[in-house]
């Protein structure tokens, strides 16, 4: 049973550390003997220590997104590559990241948009459950869930629609004045 940590510790010490994981605990089920990753030790009142994993693989290289796409069969790959380029044209300053295992674009620390391939469709992911409500008329003819707009594997989303989707999301995350 875990003991709850005090709401306001009298002494808080944060220091870098190394988290050792057994193969069973490894995120990807690695067959190695175990793995080490960076962590932060947070010590409360010199009595309890919490080890929080820290990953620097949120921001990924262009190559890692290329690798994600390379694993996808045609015509899905070409369609997602077109969507990727459209997003990059609209958000040239966004970082390419992996969010929930899928390519995404982060701007000023907030994920704005992502995409993914599934067996029978591709998905545009706004990383918000309220984007689609604002563009109901524009999305007629597409199927969706609250957080995923589905589109055909061989037909990219129109650039004008992607611009509107991103504009709504940017409006949601802009600082309140």
Q: What CATH number does the domain containing 165 carry? A: 3.90.1150.200
Residue 110 lies in a domain: yes
- What mean pLDDT is predicted for residues 38-55? 46
- Tally of structural domains, the chain: 2
| Domain presence at residue 4 | no
For residues 81 and 128, membership in a common domain is answered with yes
Domain assignment present for residue 111? The answer is: yes
Which of residues 84 and 20 earns the better pLDDT score? Answer: 84
Q: Which residues contact 79 (CB under 8 A, 6 or more apart)?
A: 122, 152, 153, 154, 155, 156
Q: In this model, does residue 8 exceed pLDDT 60? A: no
pLDDT: which is higher, 8 or 125: 125
What would the pLDDT profile of 136-162 be if each residue is shown by its tens digit? Answer: 999 999 999 999 999 999 999 999 999
33: pLDDT strictly greater than 90: no
Distance CA 51, CA 65 (A): 30
Rounded to the nearest integer, the mean pLDDT of the chain is 77
Q: Can you give the pTM of this predicted structure?
A: 0.67
User: How far is residue 146 CA from its own chain's centroid?
Assistant: 16
Phi, psi at 139, each rounded to 5°: -100, 5
What pLDDT shows up at residue 176? Answer: 72
Query: Does residue 76 share a domain with residue 46?
Result: no
Q: Answer yes or no: is 92 within a domain.
A: yes
Considering only residues 37 and 174, tell me which one the structure prediction assigns the higher pLDDT.
174
Residue 2 is assigned to a structural domain of this protein: no
Could you tell me if 74 and 153 lie in one domain?
yes
Whether residues 70 and 109 share a domain: the answer is yes
Could you tell me if 93 and 140 lie in one domain?
yes
Helix, strand and coil in the chain, % to nearest 5: 25, 30, 45
Any domain includes 6: no
**Does one domain contain both 88 and 151?**
yes
Query: Which structural domain range is residue 144 located in?
Result: 62-173
């Amino acid at each position: 049973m875990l003991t709850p940590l005090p709401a306001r510790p009298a002494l808080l010490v944060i220091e870098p550390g190394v988290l050792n994981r057994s193969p069973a605990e490894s995120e990807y089920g690695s067959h190695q003997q175990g793995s080490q990753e960076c962590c932060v030790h947070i010590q409360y009142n010199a009595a309890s220590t919490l080890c929080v994993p820290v990953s620097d693989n949120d921001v990924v290289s262009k190559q890692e997104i290329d690798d994600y796409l390379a694993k996808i069969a045609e015509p899905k790959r070409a369609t997602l590559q077109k969507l990727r380029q459209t997003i990059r044209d609209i958000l040239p300053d966004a970082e390419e990241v992996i969010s929930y295992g899928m390519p995404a674009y982060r701007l000023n620390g907030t994920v704005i948009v992502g995409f993914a391939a599934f067996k029978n469709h591709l998905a545009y992911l706004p990383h918000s459950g309220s984007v689609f409500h604002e563009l109901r008329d524009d999305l007629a003819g597409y199927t969706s869930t609250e957080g995923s707009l589905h589109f055909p594997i061989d037909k990219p989303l129109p650039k004008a629609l992607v611009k509107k989707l991103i504009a709504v999301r940017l409006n949601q995350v802009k600082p309140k004045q």
